[in-house]
């Protein structure tokens, strides 16, 4: 082995000597050519004749100088390549702007609402038949949350804001792991029923938890960056800059409120689409019921809530009953009488699950009652409805 290494080292040394000899020959030719080149330079370029060229001629370069020069060129090449790669990465990153990140986060709320409906529907349709039936794997896997829409690098300039996005990434990754475990448990016949029910309740709980975590992150990300260094000292003594700071805070709060309003509207649209409510008049009536503010008088407020909730409840019941009769061949589907929190078995106004959705997006008793009506109608339709191919929306399969 030692002889082999020695032989290879000798070979490398011979190659380096050959390169050095060629470079020395090239330098010798340059030395012989430079005086002629200097004499041919016009007299007007006396600085080149008297200063620059003689300096080059006097350079005495040995083979190690040449080797160092070659290494420097190679290093420069890779440095340029790394720089180009960095700029390309920066350009790709900048395609995701802060505003784009907010729009993607708004869409997460719609996805969490859909997951909440699907999870609750699976629990209701399984009806504790854990040892004889299981939900089709597709329904569990669709509950997964994509992490590709979260880009912490957009907020690289702020350690706190970067941390908020990174925390969401960790939460979502942990949830996706729990989802995989839940799928495995639900599809295992001999596993105890308590473990399966625990997994399903965890999936339901996480949708409500994500709603609050993403809302909190969005609120923090909307806040203006804190001034630092010289700018911070300047703002402490400059009233004009301090006024500008207050204006930034007000604009940030306004922007946050706009995002929440947009998320609320997306949830309402999603809820109406899940029961295939395409009648424009009914859609407008339900959306209008959400936009009208309740009066301050408590007696009037009660009658006001009953007026609009009864109207929406009637629209939802008529639509769902009609839709299920026309799309389903199952004659055992019960005719729903109400989706009110008082009469429905899926969600009630005082239930903890889905409470964050209600608190964040629906701020008074009327809106929350309407919201839970939409949830209950969605779950009922999910349990008994058919998809476009005529199959059950939620497929529960026997072992």
For the record, the structure tokens of 378 come out as 């969605």
Q: How confident is the model at residue 250 (pLDDT cuts 50, 70, 90)?
A: confident
Give yes or no for residue 37 having a pLDDT over 90.
no
Residue 358: name the closest of 366, 348, 368 by CA: 368
Contact (Cβ atoms closer than 8 angstroms) between residue 200 and residue 122: yes
Q: What is the pLDDT of residues 184-206, one digit of tens each?
A: 999 999 999 999 999 999 999 99
pLDDT at 101: 87
pLDDT at 38: 47
Helix extents (H) in 95-158:
98-126, 137-141
What average pLDDT does this structure show over 217-240? 64
What average pLDDT does this structure show over 365-379? 91
β-sheet bridge partners, residue 134: 397
Q: What is the pLDDT of residues 282-300, one digit of tens each?
A: 999 999 999 888 776 666 6
For the record, the structure tokens of 251 come out as 């604009």
User: Could you tell me which residues come within 8 angstroms of residue 208 by beta carbon, excluding any fewer than 6 positions away?
Assistant: 116, 352, 353, 354, 355, 356, 357
Comparing 21-25, 92-96, 178-182, which segment has the lowest mean pLDDT? 92-96
CA distance 362 to 371: 7
Q: What is the pLDDT of residues 114-157, one digit of tens each?
A: 999 999 999 999 999 999 999 999 999 999 999 888 888 888 78
The secondary structure of the chain in percent helix, strand, coil, rounded to multiples of 5, reads 75, 0, 25
């Amino acid at each position: 082995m030692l002889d082999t290494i020695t032989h290879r080292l000798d070979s490398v040394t011979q190659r380096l000597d050959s390169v050095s000899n060629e470079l020395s020959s090239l330098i010798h030719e340059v030395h012989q050519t430079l005086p002629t080149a200097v004499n041919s330079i016009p007299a007007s370029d006396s600085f080149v004749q008297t200063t620059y060229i003689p300096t080059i001629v006097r350079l005495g370069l040995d083979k190690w100088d040449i080797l160092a020069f070659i290494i420097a060129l190679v290093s420069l090449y890779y440095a340029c390549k790394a720089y180009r790669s960095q700029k390309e990465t920066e350009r790709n990153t900048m395609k995701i702007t802060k505003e784009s990140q907010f729009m993607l986060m708004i869409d997460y709320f719609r996805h969490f609402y859909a997951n909440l409906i699907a999870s609750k529907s699976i629990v209701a349709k399984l009806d504790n038949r854990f040892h004889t039936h299981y939900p089709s794997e597709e329904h569990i896997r669709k509950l997964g949350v994509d992490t590709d829409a979260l880009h912490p690098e957009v907020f690289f300039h702020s350690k706190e804001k970067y941390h908020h996005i990174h925390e969401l990434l960790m939460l979502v990754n942990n949830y996706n792991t729990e989802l995989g475990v839940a799928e495995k448990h639900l599809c295992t016949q001999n596993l105890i029923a308590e473990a399966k029910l625990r997994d399903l309740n965890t999936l339901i709980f996480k949708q409500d938890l994500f709603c609050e975590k993403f809302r909190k992150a969005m609120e923090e990300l909307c806040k203006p960056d804190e001034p630092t260094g010289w700018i911070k000292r300047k703002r402490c003594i400059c009233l004009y800059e301090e006024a500008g700071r207050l204006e930034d805070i007000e604009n940030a709060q306004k922007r946050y409120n706009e995002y929440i309003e947009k998320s609320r509207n997306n949830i309402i649209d999603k809820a109406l689409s899940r029961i295939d409510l395409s009648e424009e008049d009914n859609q407008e009536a339900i959306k209008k019921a959400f936009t009208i503010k309740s009066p301050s008088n408590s007696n009037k407020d009660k009658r006001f809530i009953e007026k609009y909730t009864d109207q929406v409840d009637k629209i939802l019941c008529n639509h769902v009953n009609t839709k299920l009769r026309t799309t389903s061949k199952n004659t055992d589907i019960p005719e729903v009488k109400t989706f009110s929190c008082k009469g429905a078995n899926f969600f009630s106004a005082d239930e903890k699950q889905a409470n964050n959705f209600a608190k964040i997006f629906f701020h008074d008793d009327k809106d929350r009652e309407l919201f839970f009506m939409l949830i209950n109608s969605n779950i009922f339709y999910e349990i008994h409805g058919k998809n476009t191919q005529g199959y059950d929306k939620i497929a529960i399969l026997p072992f």
